[in-house]
Structure 1
Amino acid sequence: MNQHNTSFAKNESQDKQVRTIMQILPALEGGGVERGTIEMAAAIKAKGWNAIVVSNGGKMVYELDKIGATHLTLPVHSKKPWVMYRNIKRIRQVIERYGVDLVHARSRAPAWSAYAAARAEKVPYVTTFHAAYTRGGFFKNAYNGIMARGQKVIAISDFIAGHIAENYMTPEDKIVTIPRGVDCHKFNPGAVSAERIIKMATDWALPDGVPIIMLPGRLTRLKGHVELIQALSRLEDKNFLALFVGAGQGREAYRTEITNLVKSKGLEGKVQIKDYCSDMPAALMLADIVVSATNVPEGFGRISVEAQAMGRPVIATAHGGSLETVLNGETGWLVPVGDIDAMASAVKTALGMSGEEREKVAARARQHVTDNFTVEKMCNATLEVYEDVLKNREGAAV
């Protein structure tokens, strides 16, 4: 479908037991929100329902095509008020022509248009709160508040649920905590072949026998690269290689700052930036430690969970979702935000683990994830929210 085209085919199915769920988000270029949207679309299809995703498009659209979900391209990524206003009519057309039973909004700009359209069409509206949005003045807080207006508001962690209740006065019975899930079939040490690991090590020209410290995530100051470099500089034993795995997305000034800091700390050759990774499970298999050094609280912290699913010990800053996903002293270490000495101490402890200790941590870490943070648990719980909202809607109509 061409961008901004609002001429949609009529959904011929009149069987209202076959529900049609529409998820809406800015784009499908990659990221945790996008991954969760696609996983939910697959779960909706597996249930025998119709899955529609509305976004501005992106490189992940083909994944929706593979599972038989419908993608419609609209300019819902735009924050321009006039575009958001015009999107209301476009979304109403989608709801009407595809017989949408429920709208699920996952981001603020498209949520405003989706909320107005759903109200006009008298269709249930659900949101997922993916982050503790920065508070500001009246208009900033009002803009954020659209994510708390769902008939059900899904929080991706208890941390986010508390943020919603405290800042948006949302009744507790409207908030549902559903942690994000990891595909434990994909993120499974047994599913990663030796060939994939060797290829990754070769592509990255990694030296043999050197412990790997990995910090995955976008090359942005919020991910804590600077703090980790400072911690590494305090280690007496410099027998390690730290890999920052994630695209810079045009942040050349920050990349230069990191490079200069590495030089000033005498860590040249000990820290490398890898912009692109096409096989994250294989990359994690190369890591001896995975670090999440975020200096702002993340809503969930997917990287820490993926690393634990791969049996890797995690060092994470002790705030946000990490307090719920990392078991301190069991599956990894939680260190105070900004405490460089504590970060250095945790890295030293992790690198000093014996093979037997590492195996015990790996087993505990993977079990922790499979017990609590799987895609199946996330999707099933979300489907239950859909069913509950739809049932209540039908009951109110009787």
Structure 2
Amino acid sequence: MTSLPADFTLLQVTPELETGGAEQTTLDVAHAVIAAGGRALVAARGGRMVARLEADGGRLAQMPVQSKNPLVMLGNAARLTDLIRKEGVDLVHARSRAPAFSALWAAQAAKVPFIATYHGVYNAKSGLKRWYNAVMTRGDLVIANSEFTRDHVIAEHGIAPEKVVAIPRGIDLRRFEPGMVAPARVEALRTAWNVDPSERRMKVLLAGRLTRWKGQALLIEAAARLQIEGLGDKILFLLAGDDQGRTEYRAELEAAIRAAGLQDTVRLVGHCDDMPAAYLLADLAVAPSLEPEAFGRTAVEPQVMGRPVIAAAHGATRETVVPGETGWL
């Protein structure tokens, strides 16, 4: 374990701790800092993952950092400046664009280093949007979560390559360890998802929030084709993920399932807090993202749990899936 300076305090700033790869990485880094003897603070709106942060010994500084309202952002900068000075923060780490403005201003006011992690490949169709995205590059260092993302940041913003370092997202091997998952946890999910213990179909898991680019509609289309070809009784598709208020998209998916007569083949099982057990329940994982993943945690986690993955052949999944060995692209 890497040692930290005495009394080291890290402040991470992220919109919320609800669900997602950036949020999980926030918790992973907080856990590592605490394990190394430091203190971990997270400024965020809140969310269902706060309990896990606090269980690890981290602290939430609740504030509306998810807001894009300029007045609220200025208020957040003042609140963060006070927090940095009061808690003796040594490093400020932003994980999203809107919070990055407030975090950068606060770090500059308090004269502490500021870094940011590029968790996604942000689209910029105008100079204004490119300026907005570039806030992530205005600190002392930019962290990219894959070589794919690093190449994008350098090309998009024209910054010096030595200022951008690629650090792939980590997976907590204590949490994602097949031998540490009690059978009761798998059975609890089986019951919650209404998967009969005698189910003989191949169970295919797509984990990801319900948003169009994650490919849920594409998977339903594939399931419909399999049914037409007479293979519909061979596979059970489990789509795990929260709609996060995207009720129209969820309704669209439900309608597509009904229209294709796939009610017994495709199931929307909702948010899952126990992903290690979910992967053990499944036989195969899929990550059919329609747009390139900046990292693609759901293509990596199943491999750690001993399950192969089929992933879209673009973005950072080409760095994490070994075709024919750990999965297929």
Q: Quote the residue 1:212 is aligned against.
A: 203
Residue 265 and residue 202 in structure 1: after superposition, are their counterparts in 2 closer, same or farther (change >3 A)? same
Measured in 2, the distance between the counterparts of 1:216 and 1:273 equals 10
Deviations 1:249-295 (A, max 9, x none): 23332223223323333433111110132322111112121110110
The match for 2:279 among 264, 284, 292 is 284
| Cα shift at 1:193 | 2.3
| Cα shift at 1:19 | 2.0
* Higher mean C-alpha deviation, range 31-40 or range 303-312: 31-40
| Cα shift at 1:128 | 0.6
| Cα shift at 1:226 | 1.6
Matched AA of 2:124: R
Q: Quote the residue 1:24 is aligned against.
A: 13
Alignment of 1:209-358 (within 5 A): 209-235=200-226, 236=229, 237-238=231-232, 239-334=234-329
Residue 187 and residue 22 in structure 1: after superposition, are their counterparts in 2 closer, same or farther (change >3 A)? same
Deviations 1:77-133 (A, max 9, x none): 111011111222222111222222211111111110111121222211111110001
Residue 248 and residue 158 in structure 1: after superposition, are their counterparts in 2 closer, same or farther (change >3 A)? same
Measured in 1, the distance between the counterparts of 2:221 and 2:268 equals 16
Alignment of 1:1-398 (within 5 A): 17-207=6-196, 208-235=199-226, 236=229, 237-238=231-232, 239-334=234-329
Measured in 2, the distance between the counterparts of 1:182 and 1:215 equals 18
| Cα shift at 1:230 | 1.9
Q: Percent identity?
A: 45
| Cα shift at 1:232 | 2.3
| Cα shift at 1:222 | 1.1
* Cα-Cα RMSD: 1.7
Residue 62 and residue 226 in structure 1: after superposition, are their counterparts in 2 closer, same or farther (change >3 A)? closer
Measured in 1, the distance between the counterparts of 2:184 and 2:31 equals 29
* Higher mean C-alpha deviation, range 276-285 or range 134-143: 276-285
Residue 219 and residue 99 in structure 1: after superposition, are their counterparts in 2 closer, same or farther (change >3 A)? same
| 8 Å contact from structure 2 (residues 28, 172) kept in 1 | no
**Other structure's SS at 1:40 match:** helix
Measured in 1, the distance between the counterparts of 2:305 and 2:51 equals 27
**Other structure's SS at 1:87 match:** helix
| Cα shift at 1:21 | 1.7
Measured in 2, the distance between the counterparts of 1:148 and 1:168 equals 8
| Cα shift at 1:150 | 2.1
| Cα shift at 1:322 | 0.8
**Other structure's SS at 1:283 match:** helix
Count of paired positions: 319
Matched AA of 1:233: A
**Other structure's SS at 1:234 match:** helix
| Cα shift at 1:76 | 1.3
Matched AA of 1:234: R
**Other structure's SS at 2:221 match:** helix
| Cα shift at 1:231 | 1.9
Q: Which runs of 5+ in 2 are unaligned?
A: none
Deviations 1:348-368 (A, max 9, x none): xxxxxxxxxxxxxxxxxxxxx
**Other structure's SS at 2:189 match:** helix
Residue 260 and residue 68 in structure 1: after superposition, are their counterparts in 2 closer, same or farther (change >3 A)? closer
Measured in 2, the distance between the counterparts of 1:256 and 1:59 equals 24
Q: Which runs of 5+ in 1 are unaligned?
A: 1-15, 335-398
**Other structure's SS at 1:300 match:** coil
**Other structure's SS at 1:113 match:** helix
Measured in 2, the distance between the counterparts of 1:141 and 1:185 equals 39
- Following TM superposition, the consecutive aligned residue runs of length 4 or more in structure 1 with deviations greater than 4 angstroms are none
Whichever structure has more helix as a proportion of its residues is 1
Residue 166 and residue 327 in structure 1: after superposition, are their counterparts in 2 closer, same or farther (change >3 A)? same
Residue 116 and residue 251 in structure 1: after superposition, are their counterparts in 2 closer, same or farther (change >3 A)? closer
Matched AA of 1:224: G
Residue 69 and residue 278 in structure 1: after superposition, are their counterparts in 2 closer, same or farther (change >3 A)? closer
Measured in 1, the distance between the counterparts of 2:235 and 2:89 equals 54
Deviations 1:306-360 (A, max 9, x none): 11111111011111121111111211111xxxxxxxxxxxxxxxxxxxxxxxxxx
Measured in 1, the distance between the counterparts of 2:295 and 2:266 equals 26
**Other structure's SS at 1:68 match:** coil
Q: Quote the residue 1:380 is aligned against.
A: none
Q: Is the radius of gyration larger for structure 1 or structure 2?
A: 1
